[in-house]
Amino acid sequence: MKKRRRELRGHVKRKKLHCIILFNLTMNPDPNFFYLTGYAGYGCLVLLKDRELLFVPKMEFERARKTVKGIRVKVYRKNLWKSLRRYSRGRAIGIDFNAVTLTFLKILRKEFRRKTFVDISSVIRGLRSVKTANEIRILKKACRISDTILKKLFSGFRKLRTEKDVADFLESEARKNSCELAFQPIVASGPGAAEPHHTPKRKRLRKGFCVIDFGVKYKGYCSDTTRTVYIGKPSRKEREIYTLVLNAQKDVVGSLRPGQKCSDVYSRMIKNLGRYSRKFTHGLGHGVGVEIHELPDLKPKSNSILREGMVLTVEPGVYFDNKFGIRIEDTVLISKKPLVLTGVTKSLKML
Measured between alpha carbons, how far is residue 275 from residues 264, 269, 272 in Å? 18, 12, 9
Q: Report residue 84 CA to chain centroid gap.
A: 31
The end-to-end CA distance of the chain, in Å, is 44
More confident: 172 or 91? 172
**Residues 106-129: tens digit of each pLDDT:** 999 999 988 899 999 999 999 999
Go through 167-177 and write b for each residue having 16 or more CB atoms within 10 A of its CB, e for each that does not: bbbbbebbeee
Q: Tell me which of 71-75, 139-143, 260-264, 328-332 is least confident.
A: 71-75
The percentage of residues in the chain with a pLDDT greater than 70, rounded to a whole number, is 100
What is the spatial distance between Cα 212 and Cα 229, in angstroms, rounded to a whole number? Answer: 8
- HEC secondary structure over 293-330: CEEEEECCCCCCECCCCCEEEECCEEEECCCEEEECEE
251 within 8 A of 271, measured Cβ to Cβ: no
Q: Where are the domain boundaries for CATH 3.40.350.10 in the chain? A: 2-128
With a cut of 80, say whether residue 207 has pLDDT above it: yes
Q: What is the mean pLDDT of the chain?
A: 94
Class of CATH domain 133-340: alpha beta
- What is the residue type of 314? V
Q: Which of the four CATH numbers 3.30.70.660, 3.40.50.2300, 3.40.980.10, 3.40.350.10 does domain 2-128 have?
A: 3.40.350.10
What is the per-residue pLDDT for 172?
98
Q: Where are the domain boundaries for CATH 3.90.230.10 in the chain? A: 133-340
What is the spatial distance between Cα 237 and Cα 274, in angstroms, rounded to a whole number? Answer: 16
With a cut of 90, say whether residue 78 has pLDDT above it: no
Go through 294-319 and write b for each residue having 16 or more CB atoms within 10 A of its CB, e for each that does not: bbbbbbeebebebeebbbbbbbbbbb
